[in-house]
Structure 1
């Protein structure tokens, strides 16, 4: 599963989500971190929303980035994994 995390330096919520994603063991996750301070369009889109998590959904016409629900900062690694598992299963059924 390929995921994109929009983040910025010093964002504790972003760092917490990234740490939890790194701890997931039962899903193979390819995580790309995008620093919103490096591009004006990302900054304008996500400055008040980070952390933002997207799933990259491969399509015959090219990959599509799909916004995932924002997990609670209080969610455990297990709860985060269960949420992602639902999206992984959708991909596998196609």
Structure 2
């Protein structure tokens, strides 16, 4: 997670700076990626650590796993959104390049 998320974010920012014509799509890609990244230090890192260190109360494990799964699906949604918007920006750029 650590190298991939920020790496994708940096590439999306570079793409935005080089291709301002599709700034809305690249902007959405950046926002979706940033939201996805934020989930890790805010929720997943401490929660996964509590599981690994066995510091979570046994009675809370079931509910926390449900929360974990819910947040995981949210991250999948944002990652998918970033993927779709970046593909749209790239494909529009390629079509435009072929028309010139």
TM-score, shorter chain, exceeding 0.5 = no
Computing the radius of gyration from Cα coordinates, the structure with the larger value is 2
Q: TM-score, normalised by structure 2?
A: 0.31
Q: TM-score, normalised by structure 1?
A: 0.32
More strand by share: 1
Structure scoring higher RCO (CA < 8 A, sep ≥ 6) equals 2
More helix by share: 2
